[in-house]
């Protein structure tokens, strides 16, 4: 058996090399030519998989180590008799923590309490649903827009129209990118929606770039940059619009779901489905343990309550560093962000551990904060 795989899949060699010949390539270097003798194709999000890639290959199993699947033509795979496996939900917690880190960062820099804001969640699948559950633990107000949810289901009391969701203090997007469907999401935030947003609103896109009309957002921000914008997913990746990048409040290189834990979960889910499909013995990889990481906040003089909480969040995940990295490569190039540099930030992304690895050490009197941090996902 021969496997062609994206080299950025975490633990790829350790998991799959014992079972087959393994050819590891950058995701955008996976072409029809390299698949001429492949049995299995394993990708992440940058490889578009459909007839143009696979029509003349012997591939019989395609897997993506990602939760999102809009880069996969599943109708074609089904018609061609090619088995498919994804890693649905693997990075949900990572994206939720990205949203929390972004709000915490904004609250510190813009001097407001994010815990007192109301969120409009658009899309309540794996990520949006988990975010809603986290907000409930924090006793925060939120509403949901998702026309695919059961109107009598568990979120019934929270369901609102898109117009109502987009009018909340914070609008956060967690939808796939769809076009010719009953509820298309392409340019869901078009010029009309964007121009109706109120000054001071927070807009977060950690979904897909095409959900927002980037030109319309850029025009609004150029005219009056009064929104707090957090953009992780960009149109025209891996070459985001340099003009928009300069205007957003926080811009990151599509790494919201790139925690080490999220990527590892994706690999393990994919490996399990691969083994099941081919009737292979599942081998426990045994390399995913991480020791507790201590956040010593005991001596943070003059900080208390929510300020100390935001310091803990930044200690676990400093989203400002990701913004600085992307901004730097954009600022150093007159022609914008070259694709190789953008993808380099993703390929060489540091090991970002999720909150549950961190054990905060707090001042003795901060007992309420200790519970709040546990509700956020810390130890």
Tens-place pLDDT, residues 78-107: 999 999 999 999 999 999 999 999 999 999
Are the CB atoms for 2 and 60 separated by under 8 Å?
no
Side-chain half-sphere exposure of 156, counting CA atoms within 13 A: 5
pLDDT of amino acid 220: 98
The pLDDT score that the predictor gives to residue 347 is: 87
pTM of the complete model: 0.92
Catalytic choice (235, 237, 354, 366): 237
Cis previous bond, 238, omega within 30: yes
Mean pLDDT along residues 241-254: 95
| Average pLDDT of the residues of the chain | 93
Residue 132 has a pLDDT of 98
Return the closest-CA partner of residue 356 out of 290, 298, 296: 290
The rounded radius of gyration (Å) of the Cα atoms in the chain is: 21
Task: Write down the catalytic residue from 208, 323, 346, 357.
Answer: 208
User: Is the pLDDT confidence value at 264 over 70?
Assistant: yes
pLDDT digits (tens, 9 = 90+) for 279-335: 998 877 766 667 789 999 877 656 678 889 999 999 999 999 999 999 988 776 555
In tens, the pLDDT along 138-173 reads 999 999 999 999 988 888 999 999 999 999 999 999
- Residues 49-76, mean pLDDT to the nearest whole number: 96
CB atoms within 10 A of CB 332: 9
pLDDT at residue 340, rounded to an integer = 82
Residues 181 and 189: their CA atoms lie apart, in Å, by 17
Catalytic, out of 71, 254, 323, 357: 254
208 part of the active site:
yes
């Amino acid at each position: 058996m021969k496997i062609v795989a994206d080299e950025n899949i975490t633990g790829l060699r350790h998991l799959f090399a014992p079972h087959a010949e393994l050819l590891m390539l950058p995701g955008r270097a996976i072409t029809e030519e390299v698949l001429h003798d492949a049995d299995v194709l394993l990708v992440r999000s940058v490889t578009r998989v459909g007839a143009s890639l696979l029509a003349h290959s012997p591939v019989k199993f395609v897997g993506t180590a990602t939760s999102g699947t809009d880069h996969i033509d599943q109708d074609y795979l089904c018609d061609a008799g090619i088995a498919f496996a994804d890693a649905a939900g693997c990075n949900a917690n990572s994206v939720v923590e990205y949203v929390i880190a972004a709000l915490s960062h904004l609250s510190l820099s813009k001097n407001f309490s994010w815990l007192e804001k109301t969120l409009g969640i658009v899309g309540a699948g794996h990520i949006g649903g988990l975010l809603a559950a986290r907000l409930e633990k924090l006793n925060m107000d939120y509403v949901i827009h998702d026309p695919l949810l059961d109107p009598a289901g568990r979120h019934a009391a929270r369901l609102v129209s898109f117009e109502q969701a987009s009018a909340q203090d914070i609008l956060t997007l967690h939808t796939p990118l769809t076009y010719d469907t009953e509820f298309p999401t392409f340019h869901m935030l078009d010029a009309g929606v964007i121009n109706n947003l109120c000054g001071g609103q927070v807009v977060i896109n950690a979904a897909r770039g095409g959900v927002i009309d980037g030109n319309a957002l850029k025009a609004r921000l150029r005219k009056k940059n009064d929104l707090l914008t957090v953009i992780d997913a960009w149109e025209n990746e891996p070459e985001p619009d340099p003009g928009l990048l300069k205007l957003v409040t926080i811009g990151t290189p599509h790494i919201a779901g790139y925690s080490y834990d999220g990527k590892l979960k994706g690999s393990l889910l994919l490996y399990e489905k691969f083994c099941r499909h081919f009737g292979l013995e599942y081998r426990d990889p045994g390399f995913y343990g991480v020791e507790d990481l201590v956040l010593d906040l005991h001596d943070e003089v003059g900080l208390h309550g929510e300020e100390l909480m935001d310091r803990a969040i930044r200690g676990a995940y400093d989203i400002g560093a990701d913004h600085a990295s992307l901004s730097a490569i954009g600022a150093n190039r007159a022609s914008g962000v070259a694709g190789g540099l953008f993808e380099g930030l993703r390929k060489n992304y540091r090991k970002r551990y999720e909150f549950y690895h961190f054990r905060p050490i707090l001042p003795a009197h901060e007992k309420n904060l200790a519970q709040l941090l546990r509700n956020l996902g810390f130890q």
